[in-house]
Amino acid sequence: MIGVAVLGSTGSIGESTLDVLARHPQRFRLVALAANTNAAKLARQIRLYRPAYAALADEGAAQELRALLGADARGVRLLAGPGALEEIAALTEVGCVMAAIVGAAGLRSTLAAARAGKRLLLANKESLVMSGPLLLEAVRAGGATLLPIDSEHNAIFQCLPPHARTGEAPAGVRRILLTASGGPFRDTPVEALERVTPEAACAHPNWVMGRKISVDSATLMNKGLELIEACLLFGVPPAQVDILLHPQSIVHSLVEYVDGSVLAQLGAPDMRTPIAHALAWPERIDSGVEFLDLLKAGRLDFRPPDTVKFRCLALAQAAARAGGLHPVLLNAANEVAVAAFLERQLNFPGIAAVIEAVVQAGTGGAPSGLDEVLAADAEGRMLAREHIHGMNRNAALKGAHA
């Protein structure tokens, strides 16, 4: 029986993971649940699943969790603080770690799982975007197995030769084709984007996701981050990764080989498929998803993305080409800008404007260790907040003089 820790259990990926695990109680044992701040949902999960360990990265939320659980905390070791996630990731009872903490907050625990030699199910794309070479080296040094959970990267992995290794270019591959739904605004006129609301941006037409990743999908930044991730995971340069808008979200990605063959992975848009694949790899297990009916789907459409309309994608492509700390600055600025948009402090096109300003102003270079990565992340966040403050101040002055 395999012991599993779910980092980010209160998010959509975490909940889907728990659903798959519950279908296979003879194969998997849930050892630990961990989240960032959501004490109420984690308390409900603890009562339902009774893990041996539970953790919250936020100290205040952890105090709330203890109060919510009361006597129900018996038999569960509760951990708190940023280091708690790293402790959970490295537990000897845990053989498999689902890394699904959103954003930079999941970086240290992802690295801890890699160093401890776990089967690492990577749903936290920001960890790879921020510290790709460091994470891949930790995987190699720790003897870990890295399996991608993003539907696109999991699809690519399924289409590669069975001997392919993470971080190394697979033989015979000419091109990787990442598919993107295009989000809720794929057909919205560019002039209408200034008026879109956070609610509209979070209403994804195909997938049920958290608010941050839903906005990233709406801006196509999610696809830009996935491009950076694909280059690192599969050892290819950005020029060998193309992006296709595919509104149906049935073809999750494709791999083109030098002999003209193109392999694709298809399935219903449900994250339980890649989760089940990675949990049981190289075997296959039931995931609980609805099986794909191609006759019902009827058609599969593809078109190129509009990088003028979706400026975030172009900025991510440029960061992928530049390498070094540019993806770190890009990711940091994006996290701050998306949060500001969700709090109605920034309009939708302003997300790209903030990211562009930060990447241009930030310090580049190649990181030699985690300290440099974290310093660039902090710099990107500071610059983003300053730029948003300046934009809002200028808007207020214009309003006063109107």
Q: Is residue 69 part of a domain?
A: yes
Residue 397: pLDDT band with limits 50, 70, 90: low
Identify the domain boundary among 83, 114, 149. Answer: 149
H/E segment holding residue 313: helix 311-322
Does residue 39 have a pLDDT over 70? yes
Tens-place pLDDT, residues 225-273:
999 999 999 999 999 999 999 999 999 999 999 999 999 999 999 999 9
DSSP summary character for residue 104: G
* pLDDT at 395 > cutoff 80: no
What's the pLDDT score for residue 151? 93
Answer whether residue 159 is part of any domain.
no
Q: What pLDDT is recorded for position 402?
A: 53
| Of 277, 264, 317, 269, nearest in space to 149 by CA | 277
Q: Which residues pair with 173 in a beta bridge?
A: 257
Q: How confident is the model at residue 346 (pLDDT cuts 50, 70, 90)?
A: very high
Q: Residue 146: phi, psi to the nearest 5?
A: -100, 120
Is the pLDDT confidence value at 386 over 60?
yes
pLDDT of residue 396: 63
Q: Residue 347 is part of which domain span?
A: 323-402
Q: What is the pLDDT of residues 65-99, one digit of tens each?
A: 999 998 888 899 999 987 999 999 999 999 999 99
311 and 173, same structural domain?
Answer: yes
CA dist., res. 160 & res. 293, Å (int)? 24
d(CA 312, CA 218): 10
In total, how many domains does the chain have?
3
User: Domain for residue 278, yes or no?
Assistant: no
Is residue 58 within 8 Å of 70, Cβ to Cβ?
no
Cα–Cα–Cα angle for 350, 206, 232, rounded to 5 degrees = 65
Residues 224 and 312: beta-carbon distance below 8 Å: yes
Lookup: tokens for 9: 């259990």
In a domain, 160, yes or no: no
Per the DSSP assignment, residues forming a β-bridge with 97 are 5, 120
Domain harbouring 85, CATH code:
3.40.50.720
The CATH code of the domain that includes 341 is 1.10.1740.10
Instruction: Give the span between the Cα atoms of 23 and 51, in whole angstroms.
Output: 16
In angstroms, the CA 382 to CA 249 distance is: 36
- 225 and 244 in a single domain? The answer is yes
CA distances from 19 to 47, 105, 263, 316 (A): 15, 24, 29, 33
